């Protein structure tokens, strides 16, 4: 502390925050957990000459938790308030379109800001220190390749460097103020202060310090040996507070301002906060690592004592009679001389003591300590992948049950990401203005221009979409979908819609291609139906009598013909039909004539027979009359 200079109000509030953290032993716990995660598990432990083995279940369990939570992809979806799926007017349609664009651009920001890697770091921070913190800020130095410069940027902040004005309330937006502490080069702080027109006598108060004790981790306390203020580092404080619903900020050091109070234009604190496990009435949470430390120490110590026991007793010891043997040599192939008579029994001169047997309960206790530790935390063998995949259904059931303890942590993470989304929306509405943005639509990169200032008049809510991704859930889903597809219970498009992400590359593009093919096929069928209606009835009947495949082929062949050829073919077909009809009529006329001739012949035959019959009867009657006369 410099004599004769008054500390800033922000520095006093910073010291108050350090005092609160000390009262809850935050710094000790965070540093110890960070050492244990980094395999430095014997620091501060009295070994008393024991070996110092490390069997780091601490790191394995935490890594499993992080991998299990992030095995599901997290994405933001912006939904407009008071606007349904079917917009009722142009204004609602514009709001809905804006929500879709923001959703698409948020995915672009996720890639730009490397959010997936940051999520892993935030989860690791919260597992070790109990909390994770993201700080979003406007970076004017980002070149967007257009007239509108600058973009959103983010940093991970150690929880020990974030101080809430009301440490008994974990709600970020309800804080009277928030202070973020960080170490920065003195030369950079002076340049910034000069750019903000801070008086020269105040700038001289910015000097390097060695205030590293309250930083997170042992490595943070090791810096370059700086000779002179210009090359050293100093603690800088960024204070955020709200005034009339607007967030204001101020940057300072212990004795002077770096940047005076300024309006950030934001309505939300650009800070997102997450606890691993919440502690009542405190903004700091409970780290999973803190509860693991005693178990890890016990496991390491038991292994160390078992090792020491084996080192002292595992190998047999030789005993010999010094009256006959002057010295003993264990070197291989070396002869040992004795002074004894011929009647001396050599077997009585030397022997080996059997090694002592260590109780098997020692290793049984170690195994139980490891097993119970993992089971109590939900890190079972099935979850960790330490079993053979023989029974998929059973493994899925065990994994699902073992993931239950992580559900609370997952929900904390989803809320954390949702808070980041609202902060991004605040920055977009107040900083972006009119600019072009890169978005991905159906797997293709599209550049759209949008006036983000219009977002100030819109209200959105954010939904966090989570995609499944456990190895066994993918296997089960694929087996079920394969069975449904093979039994024709679902179409191939329905199959693609439901397969786990990443199984088929560019599956969304394939789905869109199938939809386009279906629409094209539907259009072709409609054209075939119209074409069929225009054909003559006789030709329609001929086509309808064909099998479905031949019908389609026949119609396609006919539709592909040029109009002149089609007209000529129809004319030829009509001529053939007329000729066939004429031939039919001629055949019918010939058949009719033949029938008439046959009927005439029959009539003539009948008439001739009748005539013969009559003539015979007349002749017979004449003969009778002649006999009477005689």
The verdict on residue 434 lying in a domain is no
pLDDT tens, position by position, 414-435: 999 999 999 999 999 999 988 8
Query: Is the distance from CB of 285 to CB of 126 less than 8 angstroms?
Result: yes
pLDDT of residue 468: 46
The verdict on residue 5 lying in a domain is yes
Q: For the chain, give percent helix, strand, coil, nearest 5.
A: 55, 15, 30
Cα 191 to Cα 2, 186, 195, 203, 206, distances in angstroms:
22, 9, 6, 9, 11
The verdict on residue 211 lying in a domain is yes
Half-sphere exposure of 2 (CA within 13 A, CB side): 16
Q: Which among 398, 397, 403 is positioned nearest to 377, based on CA atoms?
A: 403
Own/partner pairs for 40-48, CB < 8 Å, 24+ apart? Answer: 40/218, 41/296, 41/297, 41/300, 42/300, 45/297, 45/300, 45/301, 47/304
Buried b (16+ CB within 10 A) or exposed e, 472-486: bbbebbeeebeeeee
φ, ψ dihedrals at 583, nearest 5°: -60, -40
Report the alpha-carbon distance of residue 585 to residue 588 in Å, rounded: 5
The verdict on residue 33 lying in a domain is yes
Identify the helix (H) or strand (E) that includes residue 126: helix 115-129
Buried b (16+ CB within 10 A) or exposed e, 544-571: eeeeeeeeeeebeebeeeeeeeeeeeee
Contacts of 537 (CB under 8 A, 6+ apart): none
**226 burial class (0-12, 13-18, 19+ CB within 10 angstroms)?**
middle
Report the alpha-carbon distance of residue 97 to residue 93 in Å, rounded: 6
The verdict on residue 96 lying in a domain is no
φ, ψ dihedrals at 93, nearest 5°: -65, -40
Residue 243 is encoded by which pair of tokens?
């005034």
pLDDT of residue 254: 92
Query: Is the distance from CB of 235 to CB of 181 less than 8 angstroms?
Result: yes
| pTM score, whole prediction | 0.70
Report the alpha-carbon distance of residue 28 to residue 216 in Å, rounded: 10
pLDDT of residue 202: 92
Report the alpha-carbon distance of residue 308 to residue 353 in Å, rounded: 19
Unique residue bearing structure tokens 């539709």: 559
Range of the domain at 9: 1-38+176-268
Count the domains in the chain. 1
pLDDT of residue 469: 43
The verdict on residue 254 lying in a domain is yes
Helix (H, G, I), strand (E, B) or coil at 268: coil
**424 burial class (0-12, 13-18, 19+ CB within 10 angstroms)?**
buried
Quote the Cα angle for 32-169-277, to 5°.
45
Enumerate residue ranges in the chain where pLDDT < 50: 468-472
pLDDT tens, position by position, 310-351: 887 777 788 888 878 778 877 777 787 777 777 777 777 888
The verdict on residue 515 lying in a domain is no
**27 burial class (0-12, 13-18, 19+ CB within 10 angstroms)?**
middle
The verdict on residue 347 lying in a domain is no
Strand partners, 154: 136
């Amino acid at each position: 502390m410099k004599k004769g200079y008054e500390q800033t109000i922000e520095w006093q509030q910073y010291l108050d925050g350090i005092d609160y953290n000390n009262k809850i032993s935050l710094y000790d716990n965070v540093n110890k957990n960070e050492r244990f995660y980094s395999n430095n598990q014997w620091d501060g432990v009295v070994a008393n000459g024991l070996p110092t083995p490390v069997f780091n279940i601490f790191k394995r369990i935490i890594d499993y938790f992080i991998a299990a939570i992030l095995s599901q992809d997290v994405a933001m979806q912006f939904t407009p308030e008071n606007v349904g799926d079917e917009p009722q007017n142009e204004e609602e349609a514009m709001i809905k379109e804006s929500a879709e664009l923001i959703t698409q651009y948020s995915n672009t920001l996720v890639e730009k800001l490397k959010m997936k890697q940051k999520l892993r770091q935030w989860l690791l921070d919260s597992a070790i220190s109990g909390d994770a913190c993201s700080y979003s800020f406007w970076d004017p130095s980002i070149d967007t390749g257009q007239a509108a410069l600058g973009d959103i940027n983010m940093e991970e902040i150690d929880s020990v460097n974030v101080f809430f004005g009301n440490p008994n309330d974990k709600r970020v937006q309800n804080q009277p103020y928030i202070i973020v502490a960080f170490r920065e080069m003195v030369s950079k702080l002076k340049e910034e202060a000069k750019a903000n027109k801070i008086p020269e006598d105040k700038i001289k108060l910015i000097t390097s310090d060695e205030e590293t004790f309250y930083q997170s981790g042992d490595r943070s306390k090791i810096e370059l040996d700086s000779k002179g203020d210009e090359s050293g580092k100093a603690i800088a404080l960024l204070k955020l507070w709200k005034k009339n619903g607007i967030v204001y900020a101020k940057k300072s050091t212990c004795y002077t301002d770096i940047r005076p109070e300024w309006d950030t234009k934001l309505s939300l604190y650009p800070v997102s906060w997450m606890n691993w496990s919440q502690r009542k009435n405190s903004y700091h949470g409970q780290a999973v690592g803190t509860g693991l430390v005693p178990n890890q120490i016990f496991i390491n110590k038991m292994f160390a004592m078992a090792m020491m026991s084996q080192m002292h007793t595992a190998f047999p010891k030789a005993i010999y009679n010094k009256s006959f043997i002057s010295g003993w040599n264990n070197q291989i192939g070396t002869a040992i001389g004795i002074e004894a008579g011929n009647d001396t029994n050599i077997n009585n001169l030397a022997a080996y003591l059997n090694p002592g047997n260590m109780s098997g309960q020692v290793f049984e206790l170690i195994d139980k300590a490891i097993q119970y530790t993992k089971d109590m935390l939900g890190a079972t063998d099935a979850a960790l992948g330490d079993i053979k995949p023989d029974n998929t259904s059973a493994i899925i059931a065990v994994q699902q049950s073992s993931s239950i303890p992580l559900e609370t942590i997952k929900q904390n993470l989803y809320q954390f990401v949702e808070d980041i989304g609202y902060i991004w929306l605040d920055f977009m509405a107040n900083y972006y203005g009119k600019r072009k943005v890169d978005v991905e639509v159906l797997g293709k990169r599209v550049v759209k221009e949008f006036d983000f200032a219009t977002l100030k008049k819109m209200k959105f809510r954010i939904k966090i979409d989570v995609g499944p991704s456990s190895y066994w859930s993918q296997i089960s889903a694929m087996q079920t979908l394969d069975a449904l597809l093979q039994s024709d219970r679902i179409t191939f498009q329905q199959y693609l819609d439901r397969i786990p992400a990443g199984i088929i590359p560019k599956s969304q593009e394939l789905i869109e291609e199938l939809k386009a093919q279906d629409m094209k096929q539907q259009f072709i069928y409609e054209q075939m139906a119209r074409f069929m209606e225009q054909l003559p009835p006789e030709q329609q009947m001929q086509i309808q009598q064909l099998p479905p495949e031949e019908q389609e082929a026949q119609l396609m062949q006919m539709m592909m013909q040029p109009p002149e050829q089609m007209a000529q073919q129809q004319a030829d077909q009509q001529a053939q039909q007329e000729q066939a009809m004429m031939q039919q009529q001629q055949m019918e006329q010939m058949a009719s004539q033949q029938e008439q001739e046959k009927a005439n012949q029959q009539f003539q035959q009948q008439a001739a027979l009748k005539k013969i019959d009559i003539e015979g009867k007349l002749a017979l009657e004449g003969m009778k009359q002649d006999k009477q006369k005689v």
